[in-house]
Amino acid sequence: MTPQQLLGLDQSHLLTIEDNIELLGQKFQCHHEALVPLAKLIRQSENDGIPLRVVSSYRSFDQQVAIWNNKFYQDAVLNLRDGRTVNSQELAIKDRVNAILNYSAIPGTSRHHWGTDFDVFDASAIDKGYEPELLETEFEAQGPCGNLHNWLEENLVQYEFFKPYVEDLGGIACEPWHISYAPIATPALEEFPVDLLQELIENSEIGGKEIILGKLNALVEKYVRRITHSSIIKG
């Protein structure tokens, strides 16, 4: 992948999945090499009676800026690592940046820019009218995705997917709904262009960017590189 693709600036590596693709059931974009493995994963989940649905996939840099700035500038409810919530505007700027980082990536650093990463949910719960919140409690044994959680643990590796945030390592908080296609995402992380990221942030309107730029290398190490790495052996 090119540096521009890694930062969410170039979509030439993506395929757009149209609504009429019955297997996937919705419209979204993904890396062209991840489509077939993802389709196979979804088909297997359907065959096993625990159908998964992609609720979030590719996001561009501009889309991530919009998400970040909404949480930074508006009266947004932020989820904290301990399960509490807080209004973003009640926090000092430094604390606000740190709180947003629990679950939202700095624009340019999201794995969703790569088209390899997907947030998934139990389709049967959605079909019954449940609105996904993407909280850890939803993936606990009694939650709407309890069965899906167990199914993913048993089946992801077979299709070369893994969960980069399966445990809380002090960076991005635990996200049991987030899966990643290892053959593309693993080298993408190794090639991540920090210098270009700094230039991009400097020239963008991102809330709290002075704080971000002041410790950018440390933030990349903590929130981009600090993941649960795939056990899938490359090559």
Question: If you average pLDDT over residues 155-172, what whole number do you get?
Answer: 95
Q: pTM here?
A: 0.92
Residue 200: CB partners within 8 Å, gap ≥ 6?
Answer: 7, 9, 61, 107, 108
Q: What is the mean pLDDT of the chain?
A: 92
Distance CA 201, CA 198 (A): 5
Question: If you average pLDDT over residues 121-144, what whole number do you get?
Answer: 93
pLDDT at residue 234 in the model: 57
Please state, in angstroms and as integers, the Cα–Cα distance from residue 84 to each residue in 66, 75, 99, following that order. 24, 16, 11
Distance CA 232, CA 235 (A): 9
Q: Which domains does the chain have, with CATH numbers?
A: 3-225 (3.30.1380.10)
pLDDT at residue 24 in the model: 47
**Is the predicted pLDDT of residue 25 greater than 80, yes or no?**
no
pLDDT digits (tens, 9 = 90+) for 56-103: 999 999 999 999 999 999 999 998 888 889 999 999 999 999 999 999
CA-based radius of gyration for the chain: 17
Distance CA 102, CA 165 (A): 11
